[in-house]
Structure 1
């Protein structure tokens, strides 16, 4: 449905719930409140596209690019399985047309935007296109793209404005603005021959893996010796050597000092770990994200934020101001699309679903997450260091294994990707409190095992489950 016309928007009256932000969390809250419980709900989105980060510049188009990189990898392996020859297959992989893929990917995302639009209409949520900011705790100003404004009133307001990539200023790092952020990755029209990605988190790892897999000379610049430092060490310890073997240039213990543009248009990235700058065509900053609260007017109503700029909420997503809530990335923890959706739906259940939902909230324990690296990573629960710190060394028993998946059976040994699994268990009954896997299919494997971990399964429960053979996942129920 199109956004409400100005006259209709001005005459809409008071909403039971109004949501600021048309991303995953905001849509989840709005549609549940209106579609399931019949509340009068409005939603404002400042951009021209519904779906937020995930749909437009995050997990969905990123996964398309990951699949594309996997196709290139499969082509390079095809001769080992009797398809053609290496020279021909490598040439096909190298013929990848970035721009053509981008056009198809963008069209796919555009279709998804339309689906989100229709879903709002089906659930009878009023869609306001404009930037919403607080006037008081029950009143918002909606500024449209043409500069006109109007006000809406609501009994309850949800802030779901999400986050944005963090980028250094030119004052912090001279020339930093010559780079792009992770959102800008999806605007690249032609494949860069040389690229540098700055960061060690999952976004940096994923983007660097995509570039490298598609044949760009790729440099990953990290401040320490490892990537994914918030994950269990087995994951980085397995991934880094393999990524380097696959051609990814990982520059450890390094920081960008300065960025310069050459006469030819390339970039010189000066590092504090080297006298010789890197010359690249594209520099991508992937050093973290921050809440997108600028201009929302939280200060006008006294909503508290922490020193990072994240909105402070309790377990029920309440802010310190009665009737104002925050969900998704703007509250600064577990920055994952399904988390935002689950939090939004549970909030609407609690607000409008009746007495049976009066204590409904989302637990942030044992949230599974994956990294679309090459190979993929899955993780749920506590890492080994976290478990030892929380419970003590004498309470923790570790099971782990490393092997080469059967998917690479026909490949030369040097080209077989690694697989490594770890179970973190809590004594005396060996409850599985952490599960960390890297290897082919780990992203899909994790979902079912995350259910088991969430339910409090023990190592014996795993052992008592008959293995599915031949699979990589069977190693999780046969570990000794």
Structure 2
């Protein structure tokens, strides 16, 4: 049986970290959740002299989703997997997981030590509101002048028969599969699904992806999505569109039943990964007692300064319904610090947000895509090239990774409206494009800059120069 086992990697226990000063319940700042924005606000306000309490319900989540079950460990798995070839994969699966777990344990410990050394009181218990800026945790009550909701998001699931089988996992559970499956079925087709497909294909696993959407890669331009799909199919991915999963039967193997273009089909698998997006963790927080509103998706409603509907209460990171990226959470902390303790000039409006999907090579974007521009009636020119055809960019040829393409959408005033980079180091290069867009640099100016040689950044010279 291929099942998931999630070990407790933390070296800390609740008892070890429990503080004895129980008579103090009034704080300047209270943070619920140990994610990127919350822990950074907690540390900085403690260093500034405020009394700060931070609540985290699990010692396995000190530091937040990213370092424990999200972007850091998944990229470590990808890195380790890409050092593996063919038959070595199954023998190395335990070693790969151990490398992941060692990194997580180190970062988990470092994050706890970092905030505690700054003077933050960490309470390892589930917290909930019982009144306006009043919180209950571990049978104690805490009051604060400022409260930060930072509880993040968790994987969505399917409400279908068979979903509770231990071989059916989400993006966390799939990282702890006891054995490497021979056949993995992924339900979903977004960036998380794409990254895990790339990971397990590189480990010689037969990967089948069932996506409810009619086409692969919905958020990406059609030509880019088609090229990426062709590349993944060449590596072994089987992609099935317009697939609506109905039930999962469990025997020696799992059998996934789905409606595909109106026809009933079934698929065998050793494990099933459900990767259909994430939802805000707002359940059982007692938000109604604090006067904090949520939208119809369950996300906390905020304005551009991240105020909730309750005075003195902010919501940051994945819980507020914005883009679910760690670096957005980090920027949220800047907005809150400036609004509550600064000049109040910073907000979330008009943020230029780059993205990166860690397939091989990485797929990075910034700005709007063609479909968005067409809906808005904005005229643009598309400048694009295959990476292998860019003569001034020899670095991919040197490292033998010429797969990919680059595409820029340019407005009538030579402004960069959007960009897609699918190439080696695109996750780095896209930040340069985002900066150029934020400061109003034209496409000609960006393409005309002097770049070291040979470098993958020369893609800018090759397509825009």
Instruction: Note whether the superposition's TM-score is higher than 0.5.
Output: yes
1:359 to 329, 342, 345: 345
CA distance in 2, matches of 1:176, 1:311: 28
Deviation at 1:464, TM superposition (A): 2.2
**Structure 1 residues 195 and 364 mapped into 2: Cα distance closer, same or farther (>3 Å)?**
farther
SS at match of 2:322: coil
Deviation at 1:409, TM superposition (A): 4.3
Deviation at 1:381, TM superposition (A): 1.1
**Structure 1 residues 184 and 364 mapped into 2: Cα distance closer, same or farther (>3 Å)?**
farther
1:142 to 134, 137, 158: 137
CA distance in 2, matches of 1:23, 1:63: 18
User: Which stretch of structure 1 is more off in the superposition, 446-455 or 464-473?
Assistant: 464-473
CA distance in 2, matches of 1:242, 1:195: 19
Deviation at 1:272, TM superposition (A): 1.2
Whether 1:425 and 2:410 are equivalent positions in the alignment is yes
CA distance in 2, matches of 1:62, 1:333: 22
User: Which stretch of structure 1 is more off in the superposition, 313-322 or 418-427?
Assistant: 418-427
CA distance in 1, matches of 2:18, 2:267: 52
CA distance in 2, matches of 1:116, 1:293: 24
Whether 1:436 and 2:436 are equivalent positions in the alignment is no
Whether 1:177 and 2:164 are equivalent positions in the alignment is yes
CA distance in 1, matches of 2:26, 2:101: 37
- Is the 2:387–2:423 contact (alpha carbons within 8 Å) kept by the matching residues of 1? no
Deviation at 1:190, TM superposition (A): 1.8
1:48 to 59, 64, 81: 59
Whether 1:153 and 2:166 are equivalent positions in the alignment is no
CA distance in 2, matches of 1:337, 1:477: 30
**Structure 1 residues 407 and 220 mapped into 2: Cα distance closer, same or farther (>3 Å)?**
farther
What is residue 336 of structure 1 aligned with on the other side? 325
Superposition RMSD in Å: 2.2
Deviation string, structure 1 residues 404-429 (Cα, Å, up to 9, x no partner): 27566489xxx9653111111222x2
Deviation string, structure 1 residues 333-380 (Cα, Å, up to 9, x no partner): 110001112212331233224xxx322334452111100012211111
What is residue 5 of structure 1 aligned with on the other side? 18
What is residue 5 of structure 2 aligned with on the other side? none
- Is the 1:102–1:189 contact (alpha carbons within 8 Å) kept by the matching residues of 2? no
1:279 to 268, 273, 276: 268
Deviation at 1:432, TM superposition (A): 0.9
Whether 1:479 and 2:459 are equivalent positions in the alignment is no
Deviation at 1:94, TM superposition (A): 4.2
What is the correspondence of 1:53-132 to structure 2 with a 5 Å cutoff? 53-72=65-84, 90-91=86-87, 93-94=88-89, 96-132=91-127
User: Which stretch of structure 1 is more off in the superposition, 361-370 or 324-333?
Assistant: 361-370
Whether 1:463 and 2:447 are equivalent positions in the alignment is yes
- Is the 2:154–2:281 contact (alpha carbons within 8 Å) kept by the matching residues of 1? yes
- Is the 1:234–1:420 contact (alpha carbons within 8 Å) kept by the matching residues of 2? no
- Is the 1:243–1:374 contact (alpha carbons within 8 Å) kept by the matching residues of 2? no
SS at match of 1:28: helix
What is residue 80 of structure 1 aligned with on the other side? none
CA distance in 1, matches of 2:461, 2:396: 21
CA distance in 1, matches of 2:140, 2:90: 52
CA distance in 2, matches of 1:461, 1:410: 27
User: Which stretch of structure 1 is more off in the superposition, 130-139 or 181-190?
Assistant: 181-190
SS at match of 1:335: coil
CA distance in 2, matches of 1:370, 1:244: 20
Deviation at 1:442, TM superposition (A): 1.2
Deviation string, structure 1 residues 180-230 (Cα, Å, up to 9, x no partner): 111111221221111101111111111111111111111111122433312
CA distance in 2, matches of 1:416, 1:328: 35
**Structure 1 residues 183 and 2 mapped into 2: Cα distance closer, same or farther (>3 Å)?**
closer
- Is the 1:235–1:377 contact (alpha carbons within 8 Å) kept by the matching residues of 2? no
- Is the 2:354–2:366 contact (alpha carbons within 8 Å) kept by the matching residues of 1? yes
CA distance in 2, matches of 1:54, 1:302: 29
CA distance in 1, matches of 2:187, 2:431: 30
Deviation at 1:460, TM superposition (A): 1.7
**Structure 1 residues 431 and 130 mapped into 2: Cα distance closer, same or farther (>3 Å)?**
same
**Structure 1 residues 270 and 403 mapped into 2: Cα distance closer, same or farther (>3 Å)?**
same
- Is the 1:28–1:342 contact (alpha carbons within 8 Å) kept by the matching residues of 2? no
**Structure 1 residues 359 and 175 mapped into 2: Cα distance closer, same or farther (>3 Å)?**
same
What is residue 239 of structure 2 aligned with on the other side? 250
1:22 to 34, 43, 46: 34
Unaligned runs of 5+ in 1: 76-89, 144-148
**Structure 1 residues 245 and 225 mapped into 2: Cα distance closer, same or farther (>3 Å)?**
farther
CA distance in 2, matches of 1:345, 1:314: 15
SS at match of 1:255: strand
Deviation at 1:276, TM superposition (A): 4.7
SS at match of 1:300: helix
Deviation string, structure 1 residues 247-295 (Cα, Å, up to 9, x no partner): 0111122121210001x2x200112126552111100100011111111
- Is the 1:242–1:417 contact (alpha carbons within 8 Å) kept by the matching residues of 2? no
TM-score by length of 1: 0.87
Unaligned runs of 5+ in 2: 1-11
TM-score by length of 2: 0.89
Whether 1:133 and 2:128 are equivalent positions in the alignment is yes
